[in-house]
Chains A and B, each alone.
Chain A
Amino acid sequence: DAGVIQSPRHEVTEMGQEVTLRCKPISGHNSLFWYRQTMMRGLELLIYFNNNVPIDDSGMPEDRFSAKMPNASFSTLKIQPSEPRDSAVYFCASSPRGTGWYEQYFGPGTRLTVT
């Protein structure tokens, strides 16, 4: 398996622009997680899906952030409008929770810079 795939790997955008990050989980995994990592705040869970349904979005910072999972093989995290404080590395992870093993497999991340 190719592992969790994220795109783009790097994104530089200007404040106010819309940003869309994409994630393809490992086939057969039924849970998907979006994280944000910064030096100041560490690794923060933004939202997680189980069987394509959003379960916990309490970590989503504000209404500018939205996430969707239209099917088991694709998810997006959208920021609209983007702000400089959104600059971070965004990770997507998936997990085969149905098996009882909750270990997460992380994608390579998207480094977002908002100027």
Chain B
Amino acid sequence: DTGVSQNPRHKITKRGQNVTFRCDPISEHNRLYWYRQTLGQGPEFLTYFQNEAQLEKSRLLSDRFSAERPKGSFSTLEIQRTEQGDSAMYLCASSHGTLHADTQYFGPGTRLTVL
């Protein structure tokens, strides 16, 4: 257990539905990252927050995806109008420093299946 928690751990939804995932980072960590991992691939960067500010988004993050970190603590990732291609493991990670090279602590992930 790294201290980063994610909920739910699994989510099965029908195409077209909206889903929301939550990440609770290690409490003193100011950076929070979201990644997506599909089967047999490494994680892909989606977006990151420095405290409550969303500073960078990947081009992979379509308009259907939105992320928030309202008080600089927990974060949510919402996917609207889900598509089958959204099926993946969504990983959250947090870090204490101000550099992307700093060690990140990963949560267990939320596995999304879109039927």
Verify that A and B bind, or say they do not: no
Q: Which residues of B contact A (CB under 8 A)?
A: none
